Amino acid sequence: QVRLVNGPNRCAGRVEVLHEQQWGTVCDDSWDLKDAKVVCQQLGCGTAVSVPHQAHFGPGSDPIWLDDVECTGTETTFSQCGLRSWGLHNCNHEEDAGVVCSGASEMLS
């Protein structure tokens, strides 16, 4: 599972993933629009419009679960992307990845 937290609505925020019954963050190393597109689609939030880096939506406090995520943009769920070993990273929470989906602006208007 994946969710966006700490943003203005459910279609924008810090990316968090559920692993072993615990939510954790994703490092922004190599995080790009292809990765964000899959998250937005999975959440029913349209397409990705931006990928704020450096904990734009605030640093998380839970485990950093993923780093160097490699999505092609064609996956239907985030879990189908190239995910390295869970919990292995060279990041801190100041590098938590964020996403703003096109659905975010529709919710604000």
- Which CA distances in Å does 89 have to 6, 25, 64, 78? 22, 11, 7, 18
Q: How far apart are CA 80 and CA 58, in angstroms?
A: 26
Domain over 2-103 is classified CATH 3.40.50.1240:
no
Instruction: Tell me the domain boundaries of the chain.
Output: 2-103
Write down the pTM of the prediction.
Answer: 0.92
User: Over its length of 109 residues, how does the chain's per-residue pLDDT go in tens digits?
Assistant: 999 999 999 999 999 999 999 999 999 999 999 999 999 999 999 999 999 989 999 999 999 999 999 999 999 999 899 887 899 999 999 999 999 999 977 665 5
What is residue 51's predicted lDDT score, i.e. its pLDDT? 95
